[in-house]
Structures are given as C-alpha cells and as structure tokens.
Copies of this chain bind each other. A is one copy, B any other.
C-alpha cells in the first residue's frame, strides 16, 4: 500500500481523494485543507487536518491547489525530504521548494464537481528528479489508471496548450452552436448527437480522416453563404480564421 496525503480541497483534490480511496493499492492517510468544510461533508470519515505542522508520515504528498499557490504550499511542508508532487499541467517542478524531493503528477482531464469519471482511463503525466521517485509515482498512478506516461516539462506544457484547444476552445465552439440555436429559436439539444459523434469519431479515426465540411471541400458558395448569415462580428472572424486554417492545413499535406 502506498501511503499518500492530499493537500487541497478543490475540484482536482476531491476527484483524487475519490480515486485514491477506490484503489486497493493506495492508503490515503490524511488530507490537508485550510477550509475543510466541503470535504468533511463529502467524506465524513476522512482524516482532515488544517495545518501543515499536523501532517503525518506518508510516501507521497500530492499538492492539488491552484497553480499560483503551489510554491507557497510546498514551502510550508517541513517533511524531512519526503516526495512532494504537484498536479498542474503548466507549472514547473522547480516552482516547488527544494527542501523536499519533487515530482509532477498531472492528470490530463477536465474535472467537473460531482460528475463521476472512469479514473482508470485518465492519462497521468509523470515527472520526477530521480528514478526511484519516478518508479514510486508510476506505481501510484498505475494504482488508479491504465494510462501512465513519462512526460518532460516541455512536453507537459505543450500538452496543456493542446488541452486548451481540444477542451476549452472546443467547449466554446459548443457555446457558439448554443448561441446560434438560441438566436434562431431551435433547441440546442438538436446538436448534441452531432457533438457526441464528432468526439466519438476521433477515438478511431485521425483528425485528418475525420475532417469534413465546406472548408475542406473548398465549397466557397456555402462558405460565403454561412459568413453572410452570421450577425456577430466575433463569430464571423472565428468562422473565417478556422476556415482558413482548415484550408491551409490541407495545402501542407
């Protein structure tokens, strides 16, 4: 059993608490949360402390707090050279205080409060300062997930940008679909099967094989009609730029 402590009480912390407790190979011995109320309600039998000085012994301490708090939190951990990892896609390992051994334990997924996830499918991106720690983190991640990767800092940061494109920006395109539906008084539900199938295709086809539509076909008649129909300036700009990007991408091949 890998003895772990989670530090934090937010969305990622809550999902990791659930995932760790469901694993037969992890013993979550304690959680450190300055505001423990939410966690106390959600996990009544959890050992929650509110001060770093109260922390007990563990093999790995997982910091799951907002990016800009990672440095300060790591400094507060007087742990006699224990392994401390953060869960951020965009923060360097070196942001953490060097008084402990350091690593990265980044789950590449979008976490929604209260929405269950199949933790075994979440990719964990790992980084450590030495092979022993890397092996321990691998063991920890494999206790939760089938999908574990050794990822360098540069690769992790690139993945974080890629995640913004395929998650945050994609959701904003759903938002625009929603806004167009509202503008024309049709239910957004009518687009949901298309959204589901578009994502489903990419599980088996490459994005290039899956690409369809007027931009790819060079169907300028439809493109112009679409552009003329859009009343919102930003929607028009996005339509133009995304169309151009699809056409240019086709030319590169």
Give per-residue flags for A186-216: 1 if the beta carbon is below 8 A from chain B beta carbons, else 0. 1110111111111111111111101111111
Interface-centre pick from A147, A157, A166 (highest chain B CB count, 10 A): A166
If A162-B180, A168-B246, A184-B158 touch, does A237 touch B229 (CB 8 Å cutoff)? no
Q: Least Cβ distance of A138 to chain B in Å? A: 15
* Chain A interface size range: 35 or more
Chain multiplicity (copies): 2
The closest CB in chain B to the CB of A161 belongs to B226
On whether the beta carbons of B159 and A184 are closer than 8 Å, the reply is: yes
Query: Complex: how many Å from CA A248 to CA B229?
Result: 21
- 28 A–B contacts from the bound complex (CB under 8 Å): A90-B222, A117-B197, A125-B190, A158-B183, A158-B229, A161-B180, A161-B226, A161-B239, A162-B176, A162-B177, A162-B181, A164-B213, A164-B215, A164-B239, A165-B173, A165-B176, A166-B174, A168-B246, A169-B246, A170-B173, A170-B195, A171-B207, A171-B211, A172-B245, A174-B202, A176-B245, A234-B245, A241-B241
Rank and list the top 5 A-B pairs by shortest CB-CB distance, nearest first.
A168-B213, A199-B199, A175-B207, A158-B184, A166-B177
